[in-house]
Structure 1
Amino acid sequence: AEEKKKIDEKRKAEEKKKELDQKHQERKETEKKKSKSELENSIKQKETELKFKKFEKGKLKQNEDYIKLKIKLLKEKRALLDKTTNNTEIKKEIKKIEQELKEERKKQAYEGIKNEIKEKIQKQEKIKAQKPIKAPPKEETRLAEIKKSADPEKYAKSVGLNYKDGKTRIVVSVDELDPITLNKLKEFGKIEVKKDKFVQILVPIDKIEEISQITNVQKSRPPSLPIQHGIIISEGVESVSADLVHDSGFSGNGITVGVLDLAFDKENTEIKSKIVESKSFRYNMDGGLMSLIGLGSENLHGTAVAEIITDVAPNVDLKLYSFGTELEFADAVDYAIPRVDILTMSAGWLTYPTDGSTLITEVVEDAVNSNIPFVLSAGNNAEMHWQGTFQDSDGNGWHEFASGDEGISISVTADRVSSGFPITAYLMWADLPSNNVNDFDFALIDPYEEIVAHSSNAQSLKKDAFELISYVPEVEGAYHIGITYAGSSTPSDLLEIFSPTDMLEYHTKSSSVTVPTDADNAIVVGAIYHLDDSLEAFSANGPTNEGNNAPTVVAPDGVTTNAYGTNPFYGTSAAAPHVAGIIALLLEQNPTMTPTEIRTTLENNADSESVGLSSTSNNEFGFGKADAFSLFAGSGLEIPDWIKNNADWWSQGLIDDDSFVSGIQYMITNEIIIIPGLPESSGSGGGVPDWVRNNAGWWAQGLITDEDFIKGIEFLVKSGIIKVS
């Protein structure tokens, strides 16, 4: 009775699997199944509907409905083309719709990730301004300038510094964090976080110079702030086939996911019942820990990320950790490692090179080495990143981005001036493999050809090769970002610019991923639109600065969340939590999987066809779209271990052919061995070939795989030696 029960359970499981396999396949072929007349009627209906809709800038929900309808129309026209004989008219219509969709999708996606991102302009500019003056060796330019400012509060706001009641937050790097240095720093301000050779401290601005005079201090700078990679039941659940995994009985039960972000709303109805812990590691300007809710509306992002995880894995437990600087992030991860099964973060740093050298990267690798898979968003910077070497054909010390053009032009409108939205950009560089670098400076020139913001830190080593400009423009017109160099020889350093606020006139998609995507064995996720799997224009590309490929996979964005209401959630921020949820499902099925095994499984089972990937992987799509069902479907092959003993005895002649064959036949018929897709018996029987017996022996010794052994069984069935009805 017990044996019959097991057989019945196996049969039901196999029937369920076949049903879900069929659903999985049908999703990819919906349009292809329609007849020519059905397609023509459906196309006519959609074309009529589209006449009453239009794309309007700024209307996210309305535009989303319009784009969805247009994508469905495009898919049906492609399917109709397959059923006609090279119809030229349909080809023209398809090309026209593709071009319109490309432009409309890009506008919609950029509005979705951050309404304020500014379109690039193209304007040639020869810079006439004088080069900026160097900052003191131990201070970053903004700290040197705020000390001299007549209105430090206004200056701080203009350049993106935290400031309140005469105090600002800084990070001090030291040669060695010994008790003497720590006590000296305590005399000048409130120490908030210390990690390795870095200390985060809230300090009066008039004490910055005294800190610089401490012998053990290398440099003082403002903290480096992360950028959220997206602004604004998820449609992505079906896109990654997670609903089919739910039908298979997996929902993330017993798995804890740690979510790292700037802030969260733990009262959000979608996630409230899933939260088992929440903790802030983020300091306010009074030196105390900030509430988890954060500032303004910034909690929407982290809350939406957490929502998507629970959509993909409905029974996970959530632990929410907020942070605001790189040292607070390190503190949060150290705390989380012994308390979670998975970590995920949809944010990153544009202020460091992706060369594996940062504390942030090291912290992620610590988690992975502690057996915690870490999921990261790739970033939204594909068109907000430039990379190249210094060019100066006229010898005036200003870099030429193109012939005759020494500045990246930024358009500032009257609306931007009144809104107080800043221009922000970061410059970093390296001359690998050397640790030495040349000394470059960074400047923003206004429409009157005056430098209104500059960064001129002193550099000689790679760790100091960084400049930042941030400025709230006061007049409208064309501003220009410029790079200067005072040396006499042509420098070989590779320069990089990132801007979190503006699309760049000259941009480089390659290597636009952000820290910590350079962490070894981290799982990096790019973004595709959930309805048609097209790559988002902003989705950052690899490789990292040290040559590692990224992303690992891509996942959907443009999905609905409770946190953002009617505004769809765009960005790699929305893509990454889909993969975190998939990993929770995977760990429920197999809790012993390591981060490396999980990453390899994601790569090997990614859907490359849906994104049109012609190679195994690339630095846009990684290995393809993450597909939860493919991870779980597997081969469906089930062979009890004890059969290996029989195979070994048979290969040695201890069991005759008839006994082995009849035994295998009995076990297939009674579903003790399950072989999906087994062929029908069509041959007339005969003797067992030697190669099948050899295969059985090699399989028993672990020299070939289960699948290789089954090829022999399939041959015996097909040739009629094993009869299966």
Structure 2
Amino acid sequence: MVRGRRFGLASLFFALLSGFVEAEVPLYEAKARLGPVASPPVKKARWAKLDRTLNAWLEAQEARKFAQQAGLRSDGDAVQVYVVAAQGAEEKVQTFLTERGCTKLLRAENIFQCFADAPLVRAAAEQPEVLVVRVPSYYRPAPWETQIGLRALTGSMTTEALTAMNVPAWHSAGIQGQGVKVGIIDGGFTGYQALLGSDLPPADRFMIWPDGTANMADTEHGTMCAEIVYDIVPQATMYVAATVTEVDIVNAVQWMQSQGVKVITMSQGWLSWGPGDGTGTLATAVNNFVSSGGFWANSAGNSRLAHWQGSWVDNDGDGWLEFDGTGREVNCVTDGAGNCVNIPAQKRIFASLVWNQWNNPQTDLDFYIVKWDASSSQWVVFGKSADTQNGQVGQRPVEENFDVATTDQETAYGFAVKLYSGPTNVQLEFFNRFDNNPLAV
């Protein structure tokens, strides 16, 4: 069989496997009927340094149930958090977290990632050296990556591009990666054990980042990428890391460097991990690796049809973003041809909105999931992400943690953006993880 990463078929696979069907929905219908939340209440948070999700978690009657529904990573009564330290206070914050029992602690610059229970989260928010405490931005595999039917793509295959890369000639010359250490960073490596010594190196040449073992079964995507690398350099030693946050990635890179890895390939990305202009925590780690003599290869992305980008436009002045400047205020999940599709019940929606104010954002935008209500023939609000952006140091121009994100019925779903406060001279973009978007640019 031939192993090819035909990601262009991802949308079709997902539609077939998930049972998506075209919805009987007029495209961008009833924009004015988003009006019930046209004047949202004043944002109030009991703990000003905590994001909206952590505030809700602390106030929940059933904290464990809330954590599960909100998609938080948990360990007993503790949830995974980012604690962001003020500049120059990193060591003091690290000492505080260690002494208070923050577990599985990792650090990237001034960001500390760990599992903290409710008393510790509250205590961290009261520390003057702490800027914010928030939920990490998680890498979310595309839906097709986790479909059981696609696991047949893993194992007993040959990479189709070997000849195009002139690999057979290198192999015939005896150059097969002997003595080379290659790092592979991905969201998971499901099923790798069964492939050791066949489609992957033997166990003594397959090293796993210790802090990422809990993520190894999250997706087969990393396994497939590792198989491609193995076909190219079958004598190399692999160092693999299953990562879900940018702090994970930074620490995985540092581990690989400590092991002598000089080549790293990563097929991950998430919109809210940084400005996307070569700066930020993750970009700094990559630049440091390359500056030390390493070679970094990164996937360019397969999500154009799941992406929208543009300026703020609100011609009718109702506070809702018009995605194309002609009054379209709902951007629905589509089949790629502009037709809204029904999403089955009990599917989790992942999406991330960012705008270009990465240093102390002054514009406060809220990100909504809306759904089509056939009984009233209108779009209605389903869930929202509404953190506060008011210029406070440590805040981010990001909305992605929805209060409700698991579909409750089979119907069409979409996205809308609401201005809460602040200047409107901003550039916005968002991704969803259903691989389609009617206004992709």
Coarse TM-score class (shorter-chain normalised): 0.7 to 0.9
Check the 8 A contact 1:188/1:211 in 2, yes or no.
Answer: no
**1:307 maps to 2:227:** yes
Distance 1:169 1:274, change over 3 A: closer
State the 1:240 CA deviation.
2.6
Matches within 5 A, 1:641-656: none
State the 1:215 CA deviation.
0.6
SS in 2 for 1:259: strand
Larger mean CA deviation between 365-374 and 300-309 belongs to: 300-309
- In the other structure, the counterpart of 1:156 is 67
% of aligned pairs identical?
Answer: 21
State the 1:213 CA deviation.
1.3
- In the other structure, the counterpart of 1:134 is 43
- In the other structure, the counterpart of 1:474 is 408
Distance of 1:463 and 1:367 partners within structure 2: 27
TM-score (normalised: structure 1):
0.50
SS in 1 for 2:137: coil
Counterpart of 1:320, as a letter, is V
SS in 1 for 2:222: helix
Distance of 1:123 and 1:110 partners within structure 2: 21
State the 1:377 CA deviation.
0.7
Matches within 5 A, 1:250-269: 250-264=175-189, 265-268=192-195, 269=198
Counterpart of 1:421, as a letter, is K
1:350 paired residue among 257, 266, 271: 271
Larger mean CA deviation between 111-120 and 470-479 belongs to: 111-120
Deviations 1:610-653 (A, max 9, x none): xxxxxxxxxxxxxxxxxxxxxxxxxxxxxxxxxxxxxxxxxxxx
Distance 1:251 1:272, change over 3 A: closer
Check the 8 A contact 2:72/2:79 in 1, yes or no.
Answer: yes
**1:385 maps to 2:298:** no
Which is strand-richer, 1 or 2? 2
**1:453 maps to 2:384:** yes
**1:110 maps to 2:11:** yes
State the 1:174 CA deviation.
0.7
State the 1:384 CA deviation.
0.8
Distance of 1:138 and 1:185 partners within structure 2: 16
Distance of 1:396 and 1:220 partners within structure 2: 32
State the 1:467 CA deviation.
0.9
SS in 2 for 1:282: helix
Matches within 5 A, 1:401-480: 401-402=323-324, 403-410=326-333, 416-417=344-345, 420-430=346-356, 437-447=362-372, 449-460=380-391, 464-470=396-402, 471-480=405-414
Check the 8 A contact 1:442/1:455 in 2, yes or no.
Answer: yes
Counterpart of 2:348, as a letter, is P
- In the other structure, the counterpart of 1:286 is none
Check the 8 A contact 1:129/1:451 in 2, yes or no.
Answer: no
State the 1:335 CA deviation.
1.6
State the 1:440 CA deviation.
1.5
Check the 8 A contact 1:193/1:200 in 2, yes or no.
Answer: yes
- In the other structure, the counterpart of 1:7 is none
Counterpart of 2:312, as a letter, is F
Distance of 2:227 and 2:204 partners within structure 1: 11
Deviations 1:50-81 (A, max 9, x none): xxxxxxxxxxx9xx99xx9xxxxxxxxxxxxx
Distance of 2:41 and 2:75 partners within structure 1: 28
Check the 8 A contact 2:21/2:341 in 1, yes or no.
Answer: no
2:139 paired residue among 226, 235, 245: 226
State the 1:196 CA deviation.
1.8
**1:492 maps to 2:425:** yes
Post-superposition, which runs of at least 4 consecutive aligned residues in structure 1 deviate over 6 A?
117-121, 411-415
SS in 1 for 2:205: strand
Question: Does 1 or 2 have the higher relative contact order (CA < 8 Å, sep 6+)?
Answer: 2
Check the 8 A contact 1:242/1:312 in 2, yes or no.
Answer: yes
Distance of 2:255 and 2:19 partners within structure 1: 35
State the 1:414 CA deviation.
7.6
Check the 8 A contact 1:281/1:322 in 2, yes or no.
Answer: no
Counterpart of 1:323, as a letter, is T
Counterpart of 2:167, as a letter, is A
SS in 2 for 1:128: helix
Distance of 2:54 and 2:411 partners within structure 1: 28
Check the 8 A contact 1:443/1:469 in 2, yes or no.
Answer: no
Distance of 2:106 and 2:433 partners within structure 1: 26
Distance 1:340 1:107, change over 3 A: closer
2:124 paired residue among 186, 190, 211: 211
1:173 paired residue among 84, 89, 99: 84
State the 1:212 CA deviation.
1.2
- In the other structure, the counterpart of 1:341 is 262
TM-score (normalised: structure 2):
0.79
Q: Gaps (5+ residues) in structure 1?
A: 1-60, 69-104, 284-289, 509-725
Check the 8 A contact 2:77/2:117 in 1, yes or no.
Answer: yes
Bigger radius of gyration, 1 or 2?
A: 1
Distance of 2:80 and 2:96 partners within structure 1: 17
Larger mean CA deviation between 131-140 and 473-482 belongs to: 131-140
Check the 8 A contact 2:362/2:389 in 1, yes or no.
Answer: no
SS in 1 for 2:310: strand
Counterpart of 2:300, as a letter, is A
- In the other structure, the counterpart of 2:337 is none
Distance of 1:311 and 1:222 partners within structure 2: 38
Check the 8 A contact 1:260/1:321 in 2, yes or no.
Answer: yes
Counterpart of 2:234, as a letter, is P
Deviations 1:214-262 (A, max 9, x none): 1111111112222457835211212333223323443222222111223
Counterpart of 2:201, as a letter, is K
State the 1:179 CA deviation.
4.3
Deviations 1:553-609 (A, max 9, x none): xxxxxxxxxxxxxxxxxxxxxxxxxxxxxxxxxxxxxxxxxxxxxxxxxxxxxxxxx
Matches within 5 A, 1:662-681: none
Q: Gaps (5+ residues) in structure 2?
A: 151-157, 335-339, 374-379
SS in 2 for 1:334: helix
Counterpart of 2:129, as a letter, is N
State the 1:275 CA deviation.
4.9
SS in 2 for 1:239: coil
Number of residues of Structure 1 aligned to a counterpart in Structure 2: 395
Distance of 2:114 and 2:360 partners within structure 1: 28
State the 1:362 CA deviation.
0.8
Distance of 1:348 and 1:479 partners within structure 2: 24
Distance 1:477 1:177, change over 3 A: same
State the 1:413 CA deviation.
7.5
Distance of 1:183 and 1:324 partners within structure 2: 25
Distance of 2:371 and 2:328 partners within structure 1: 15
Counterpart of 1:128, as a letter, is G
Deviations 1:383-436 (A, max 9, x none): 11111111111211111113222121247978721xx2211111111159x875
Distance of 2:356 and 2:21 partners within structure 1: 29
State the 1:185 CA deviation.
2.5
**1:272 maps to 2:201:** yes
State the 1:463 CA deviation.
5.9
State the 1:132 CA deviation.
6.2
State the 1:372 CA deviation.
0.7
SS in 1 for 2:36: coil
Distance of 1:488 and 1:214 partners within structure 2: 28
Distance 1:198 1:336, change over 3 A: same
Distance of 1:274 and 1:191 partners within structure 2: 26
Distance of 2:203 and 2:353 partners within structure 1: 41
Counterpart of 1:174, as a letter, is A
State the 1:172 CA deviation.
0.7
Check the 8 A contact 1:141/1:455 in 2, yes or no.
Answer: yes
State the 1:301 CA deviation.
1.9
Counterpart of 1:302, as a letter, is G
SS in 2 for 1:347: coil
